[in-house]
Amino acid sequence: MAKGALMLIGGHEEPRGEILRCFSELVGGSREIALCTLATVEPQAAFKRYRESLRDLGVTAVHHLDARTREDCSDERGIGLLEHADGIFFSGGDQLRITSVLGGTPYEDALRRAHLRGAVIGGTSAGASAMSSTMLVGGEDEESARRGTVTMCAGLGLLPDAVVDQHFAQRGRINRLLAALAQNPGILGIGIDENTAVLVHPGERMQVLGSGTVTVLDARGAYVGDASEAAVDRPMRLGPVALWVLPERSTFDLARRVSTHNQDSPGEHSEAPASR
């Protein structure tokens, strides 16, 4: 089991707000962060922006992991940076750039070793989507759940048995997350609003931070589904689906799929329907 926490951010987090402050505190001010800008086409600007924010929050050593090609992901300096980093952070952009460039390289191996030994791994927007085992690459934001309207591939797998979507409420993405689950109902769907994050502690407890909500969808109990029979671009049937909308301070047990409403009421919880 990995010893490090995961922080997945829905995008547009405040530069010096609660979410990045929490990430900084988890890492520790005197320790080192590797900032990976692989997803963006403006890596220097992204690095400068996050370095300034993290330094203002007390992190003294922020290093740029400036990989742009698969060849770059074998660089010995970068491998050493990942091996020794206390925190690793992925900026936003295009999540497919993260997996297609990083996947299967020495950098990916070093990232996994860092997480296993206890490094905190964070990502915003595309950087959050890339962390799950199944990755949403694209799809229609406001279209009904239809076959063929979402594109998925394997993610980095640091968050197993899940698919993550971001900018969730702001871009009306619940139907595309439902479409992803209709085609793979065994995984958990996690939709994260902007300026909102989930902090996944070792042991699979997830905590919500920030000003928005996190929507969790569980289709394991579905006994109606026709993704395999539906024609391309036609609506799919799926149900029932358990749904939680979790505001700040809510917690969720990813292993048991049990929601604790908030930290002030640890005895209150609800469970997903039993599988049929």
pLDDT for 127-141, tens place per residue? 999 999 999 998 877
Q: Identify the active-site residue in 167, 194, 250, 259.
A: 167
Q: Identify the active-site residue in 125, 129, 132, 133.
A: 125
Residue closest to 151 by CA, chosen among 188, 179, 191, 190: 179
Our answer to whether residue 133 is catalytic in this structure is no
pLDDT tens-digit readout, 32-80: 999 999 999 999 999 999 999 999 999 989 999 999 999 999 999 999 9
Is residue 215 pLDDT above 90, yes or no? yes
**Predicted local confidence at residue 28, as pLDDT:** 86
Better-predicted residue by pLDDT, 9 or 146: 9
Q: How far apart are CA 152 and CA 136, in angstroms?
A: 5
What confidence category does residue 265 fall into, taking pLDDT thresholds of 50, 70 and 90? very low
**Residue 117 DSSP code:** H
Tell how far CA 225 is from the center of its chain. 26
What would the mean pLDDT of 262-268 be, rounded to a whole number?
A: 44
In a 3-state reduction of DSSP, which class is residue 245?
strand
| Burial of 228 per CB tally in 10 Å (0-12, 13-18, 19+) | exposed
The architecture (CATH level 2) of 6-254 comes to: 3-Layer(aba) Sandwich (3.40)
**Predicted local confidence at residue 261, as pLDDT:** 62
Q: Identify the active-site residue in 18, 83, 140, 143.
A: 143
216 neighbors 252 (Cβ within 8 angstroms): yes
* Mean model confidence pLDDT for the chain: 90
Is residue 273 pLDDT above 50, yes or no? no
Residue closest to 78 by CA, chosen among 41, 37, 126: 37
| Max Cα-Cα span within the chain | 56
Is residue 217 pLDDT above 90, yes or no? yes
pLDDT tens-digit readout, 86-105: 999 999 999 999 999 999 99
**Predicted local confidence at residue 270, as pLDDT:** 42
Q: How many CA atoms lie within 13 A of 94 on its CB side?
A: 9
- Structure tokens of 20? 């990045």
Rg (CA), the chain: 18
**Predicted local confidence at residue 134, as pLDDT:** 96
**Predicted local confidence at residue 231, as pLDDT:** 61
Our answer to whether residue 204 is catalytic in this structure is no
Is residue 230 pLDDT above 90, yes or no? no
Our answer to whether residue 71 is catalytic in this structure is no
Is residue 197 pLDDT above 90, yes or no? yes
Helix extents (H) in 11-75: 18-27, 43-56
Q: Whole-model pTM?
A: 0.91
What confidence category does residue 81 fall into, taking pLDDT thresholds of 50, 70 and 90? very high
